[in-house]
Amino acid sequence: MSTLAVVGAQWGDEGKGKVVDVLAAEADLVARFAGGNNAGHTLVVDGVKIVTHLVPSGCTYPGTRCLLGAGMVIDPEVFAEEIAQLRTHGLLEQDELRVSLDAHVIFEFHRELDALREDASTAQKIGTTRRGIGPAYEAKVARRGIRIRDLLNPARLRERLEHNKRALDPEFARFGSDRSVNIDALCEAAAKWVDWIGPMTCDAGAEVLDFVGAGKRVLFEGAQGALLDVDHGTYPYVTSSSTIAGGVCTGLGIGPTLIDGVWGITKAYTTRVGAGPFPTKLDGEQGDRIRAAGGEYGATTGRPRDCGWLDLPALRLAARRNGLTGLVVTKLDVLAQLPAIEICTRYQDDLDPGRDGFDDAVPVYEPVAGWGGAGWAEQVSAARSLEQLPKAVRAYLDLVSDYVEVPITLVSIGPDREQTIRLTPAF
């Protein structure tokens, strides 16, 4: 096996950053295929916390190529800041970054529109990250999007910006905003971006094929999670991109036959940030306890995440939508801080999340033997093999794996790289 896709199997924030960082040690190329700086990957390297939003998590390994695919939306200002931040940690010093010519650009007017829409009292509130993600993808589908390749051609950029101005200035006015698309200022900014983005542009599909053809290992890094997928998530409370494994192909410009395996990541419980259905959400003290134990605050917006028990019907749906060949379970150490654990094994009235959706889902829980107690979190985090985990943890993992019918390939028991139990080789 020379390629592996790693995707979120819940509503995002499953710990993809850490898992991809661990697996990237063996990869030659790490390619991200969707989303933008709505994602936030927290990496802990030698005790130093690094948060990336755009650059794939392979960035911590010197010489590992990092690729931003055509399915992404890229805010050049954020990208520049992130590269600078990574360089202060001595990362990305080699010629490691590549960006697809066909990725779309987020401009300030996308960010402003995102915020105006979220703040409007009449709007359906999605609880977006306000980073301009939705407006940029919307422009892409409306065929007025501006790609990285358009930045390299000043005449075409101006023409595309004029098109956007005609479409969006009336919308700003409708919101009572005095903002408008400022073509001259944006052309000026873009001319500066080109200096440093230009040399890293590429054909992402060709890049992946080159690596695979040379017998090298490629990791496809997902963003967000299956239940936020624009086609298969809890629509309309979703992000605007294809977050499932199918997005690897469209987002990078390669065929499905190039994907050798797909690992889905799930927390040992469930979290969600933003609006939309979340059947196993726990209100009150129980939810607060999970949030506190797991440090469940958004890496991008700092918003507190809603928390609840693991939702097996939702996870099984995600496994099917992604064709998972492996399941990664993260944050098992967090449950060790809780006195009792439950798990959702079905919804009332035999409601099926695939057929009936999530809106009316009422979870049915089963208690499971917990592993909470003094010193247990330390014991879980110190384990380096399945055998060293408490019996109750192993039983929990078996229950999850049997239910979703996917083998567990990796277990994460803390934020550090070493707090990882590898069960199956990635490549």
Give residues in contact with ligand IMP (CB under 6 A): 11-13, 38-40, 126-129, 131, 133-134, 224, 228, 237, 239-240, 273-274
- Minimal distance in Å, beta carbon 357 to ligand IMP? 16
Position of minimal CB gap to ligand IMP: 274
Query: 42: annotated binding-site residue?
Result: yes
DSSP conformation letters of 75-101: -HHHHHHHHHHHHHTT-S-SS-EEEET
Which of 66, 47, 52 lies closest to 16 in space, CA to CA?
Answer: 52
Q: Which is nearer to ligand IMP, 42 or 381 (CB)?
A: 42
Peptide linkage before 62 cis (omega within 30 of 0): no
Q: Which is nearer to ligand IMP, 274 or 390 (CB)?
A: 274
Query: 213: annotated binding-site residue?
Result: no
Q: Which is nearer to ligand IMP, 113 or 126 (CB)?
A: 126
Which of 222, 407, 415, 409 lies closest to 332 in space, CA to CA?
Answer: 415
Which of 45, 2, 55, 51 lies closest to 27 in space, CA to CA?
Answer: 2
- Distance (Å) of CA 194 to CA 37, 83, 151, 298: 19, 15, 7, 31
In the set 13, 102, 150, 311, the catalytic residue is 13
Question: What are the tokens at 361?
Answer: 């889902």
- Minimal distance in Å, beta carbon 1 to ligand IMP? 27
- Minimal distance in Å, beta carbon 27 to ligand IMP? 21
Q: Which residue has the tokens 């080159």?
A: 210
Active site residue 140: yes
In the set 21, 41, 75, 306, the catalytic residue is 41
Query: 387: annotated binding-site residue?
Result: no
Active site residue 311: no
Helices marked H in 230-278: 246-252
Question: What are the tokens at 3?
Answer: 């390629």
Q: Which residue has the tokens 């469930």?
A: 270
- Minimal distance in Å, beta carbon 2 to ligand IMP? 28
Q: Which is nearer to ligand IMP, 15 or 370 (CB)?
A: 15
- Distance (Å) of CA 383 to CA 21, 98, 115: 20, 37, 44
Which of 341, 334, 332, 324 lies closest to 403 in space, CA to CA?
Answer: 324
In the set 53, 110, 140, 267, the catalytic residue is 140
- Minimal distance in Å, beta carbon 66 to ligand IMP? 18
- Alpha-carbon distance of 407 to 398, in angstroms, equals 9
Query: 414: annotated binding-site residue?
Result: yes
Please answer whether residues 252 and 69 qualify as being in contact, where contact means their C-beta atoms are separated by less than 8 angstroms: yes
Active site residue 260: no
Q: Which residues of 361-372 are buried (b: 16+ CB within 10 A; e: fewer)?
A: bebebeebebbe
Q: Which is nearer to ligand IMP, 115 or 200 (CB)?
A: 115
Q: Which is nearer to ligand IMP, 201 or 224 (CB)?
A: 224
Query: 299: annotated binding-site residue?
Result: yes
Query: 37: annotated binding-site residue?
Result: no
Query: 13: annotated binding-site residue?
Result: yes
- Minimal distance in Å, beta carbon 229 to ligand IMP? 10
Binding-site positions for Mg(2+) = 13, 40
Binding-site positions = 12-18, 38-42, 129, 143, 224, 239, 299-305, 331-333, 412-414
Binding-site positions for IMP = 13-16, 38-41, 129, 143, 224, 239, 303
Q: Any idea which residues carry the catalytic annotation? A: 13, 41, 140
